[in-house]
Chains A and B, each alone.
Chain A
């Protein structure tokens, strides 16, 4: 997958680092490296403190959808596009999701099937009413990926490997769980803080006459204006005037995600939560466990996930405890998919649309 381009803020960061020993990680040293003016140093210190607060502020649904939509389009582009037939005719019609006339083509039927399976699962999640969208990426790589706001993608290569709907449901539920658990926010919030600080250093550097930073001043001005509104809690996430800030955050998020992915614990927890969601919807967890077990280790398959053997072992341990509990429990103990013997749940055949696409 292609890396995101260097962002404006990253350039500013590099320039600041060169100017003031950024790499040492010492804020005081960084500040003194950027500016010799006491006034600028005080302003910069205050700005850095504001940046830290950005990482503590909760993300609104509008923010999540703006960033998530941008990130999703990066995944689509890097996955070679979506398996869908775009209607021809008035481009404005594309903006009306509820009324857009969709052609009844095999690719659209496949996407339709995926959305029925996915939305049925998501309806039982902890965020049933956000706008869940499921799509198939053209690439033959075996992968699945989510973006904030409810975007879930699986690849054509993955669909070729799944043997039944239970396995597909497990994959989708794993990704749904990343969204419901807001796993991306760990990376995203840090991205916001770091980019904010980069801009603050850049702004201070401009004041001090740094020539490299000055050439980015016009762009940085628009972003700083949006950033000030964000810090003040009044940024309009639906106003296109703030597009540059969304681009800054999204591109850096994509870069960081591709660099390291989610944490191991986040992936294992998504496996557990995914199994619970799939089982709550009536699918056997065996389908997903077996599918993960077929993934070749050490290749670009679920690139940042723990090794398949580790995931399978963790899921089997969990399911083993569940089975033991279900055998020793008694009526009157709690409900939940995990209080039942999940081995009785069905392995459902793939629907015609997917079977045909394979």
Chain B
């Protein structure tokens, strides 16, 4: 793997720099991220993690520095560097019967607030008579149908398709 020999250095984003020390908490980015028994893509999967799961950082592997040792769910294993972040994912502000509350990404995903399709008020916006007058094409009502179809195409992409895409990119890097 070409990337395996990459050297590590200081992170530079927007002119700033930061460094981690052993034992720092870092976060998973990406769905179904595998924690592997060793620093190799075909190693045994110990556990799969989800966006925002916190893990303890134990440093990069000395021979394959693109793989980083972490502790998660009571297990110690390796995660590919691109699946880790120093920042937790954003929270989402939702309104429930209990009032407004911020949910982390996992709670948000399981709350039913995600994946609802075009918002009812956006639908109502598109159906207003004054938005469908005149000779502008497509009309807003037609636009709504196109957006609903596109949302359906998006919603029907499966985790397996996304995993295959990730594997395709990784394969190109071999």
Contacts and interface: CB of A to CB of B under 8 A. Distances in A.
Contacts of B124: 240, 243, 246
B145 A86 contact: yes
Nearest to A115: B154
B115 to A, nearest CB: 6
Contacts of A281: 82, 166, 169
A325 interface: yes
A128 B89 contact: yes
B6 A82 contact: no
| Most chain B CB inside 10 Å of its own CB: which residue of A2, A60, A328 | A60
B93 to A, nearest CB: 5
Given A102-B156, A344-B2, A81 B146 contact: yes
Interface stretch (A131-139, A194-202, A294-302): A131-139
Nearest to B82: A280
Given A81-B146, A281-B166, A102 B152 contact: yes
B43 interface: no
A281 B162 CA distance: 11
B162 A116 contact: yes
A85 B138 CA distance: 13
Contact of A237 (B9, B118, B119, B166): B119
B122 A112 contact: no
A87 interface: yes
A65 B116 contact: yes
A348 B168 contact: yes
B73 interface: no
A126 interface: yes
Contacts of A126: 29, 85, 87, 89-90
A65 B118 CA distance: 8
Given A129-B108, A334-B86, A69 B115 contact: no
A222 interface: no
A251 to B, nearest CB: 9
A77 B147 CA distance: 11
A67 B140 CA distance: 15
A329 interface: yes
A119 B156 CA distance: 11
A327 B82 CA distance: 18
Interface residues of A, number: 97
B10 A334 contact: yes
Contact of A334 (B8, B150, B170): B8
Contacts of B131: 247
Size range of the interface on B? 35 or more
B163 to A, nearest CB: 9
Given A128-B89, A335-B68, A348 B169 contact: yes
A349 to B, nearest CB: 8
Contacts of B13: 272, 276, 318, 338
A76 B146 contact: yes
A81 to B, nearest CB: 4
Contacts of B14: 269, 272, 318
B165 A117 contact: yes
A30 interface: no
Contacts of A329: 7-10
Contacts of A339: 8-11, 81
B93 A98 contact: no
A336 B86 CA distance: 8
Contact of B8 (A2, A135, A246, A330): A330
A333 B81 CA distance: 12
Interface in A281-334: 281-283, 318, 321-322, 324-334
Interface in B146-174: 146-157, 161-162, 165-166, 168-170, 172-173
A240 B123 CA distance: 9
A272 B30 CA distance: 19
B169 A283 contact: yes
A98 B155 contact: yes
B81 A335 contact: yes
A79 B83 CA distance: 35
A94 interface: yes
B41 interface: no
Contacts of B19: 333-334
Contact of A338 (B3, B12, B92, B95): B12
A129 B156 CA distance: 14
A189 interface: no
B100 to A, nearest CB: 7
Interface of B: 2-3, 6-14, 17-20, 26, 29-31, 51, 57, 59-60, 62, 65-66, 68, 81-87, 89-90, 92-95, 100, 105-106, 108-109, 113-126, 128, 131, 136-138, 140, 142-157, 161-162, 165-166, 168-170, 172-173
11 contacts: A62-B94, A72-B147, A81-B138, A115-B157, A237-B121, A238-B121, A242-B121, A282-B169, A328-B9, A331-B62, A331-B65
